[in-house]
Amino acid sequence: MKKLLNLIKQARFVFVCGNGGSAATAEHLTNDLFSKRVKAICLNSNTSIMTMIANDFGYERTFGNQLYVYANSNDLLITISCSGTSPNIVCAKSMADMIGMKRYEFEVFGKEMNYEKLEDKHLQLCHKIKQAL
């Protein structure tokens, strides 16, 4: 948690993304960060940009292409995903590495594949981050 808070405080912008229920959590975290005056952008919130990228380049590039345009090496990418293996999440992490961004990945499935439990942990982490800031 301390490492994550330091990454957030040092970042020029914090980019957050997720799919499905994790997309809602990504939006929630972005809101919480913004309320604490952290410059945060949720990559899954702009449907017109997401659908244009999906249509023109492929769904797997929906987050990575946005990072290519918006991000630089002083930024942080936070990915929220239960599996961590969705192609658009993998592409975003790869693009962040190419740009030289810092990255933080919320916990992914271990031995137990329980979406509800893991999604609850993700939301609790969002609240802990907000409280700590």
Query: What digits encode the pLDDT tens for the residues 57-114?
Result: 999 999 999 999 999 999 999 999 999 999 999 999 999 999 999 999 999 998 888 9
Give the CATH number, domain containing residue 116: 3.40.50.10490
Cβ atoms 115, 91 nearer than 8 A: no
Q: How far is CA 5 from CA 12, 65, 104, 131, in A?
A: 13, 26, 10, 11
How many domains does one find in the chain? 1
38-67 pLDDT, tens digit each: 999 999 999 999 999 999 999 999 999 999
How far apart are alpha carbons 43 and 54 in whole angstroms?
13
Return the SS3 of 105: strand
- The enclosing H or E element of 77 equals strand 76-80
User: Domain span at residue 48?
Assistant: 2-132
Q: Using CB atoms within 10 Å of the CB of residue 89, give its burial: 0 to 12 exposed, 13 to 18 middle, 19+ buried.
A: buried
How far apart are alpha carbons 62 and 43 in whole angstroms?
8
pTM assigned to the model: 0.96
Hunting for tokens 């952290």 — which residue is that?
38
How far apart are alpha carbons 77 and 24 in whole angstroms?
16
- Any idea what DSSP says for residue 67? H
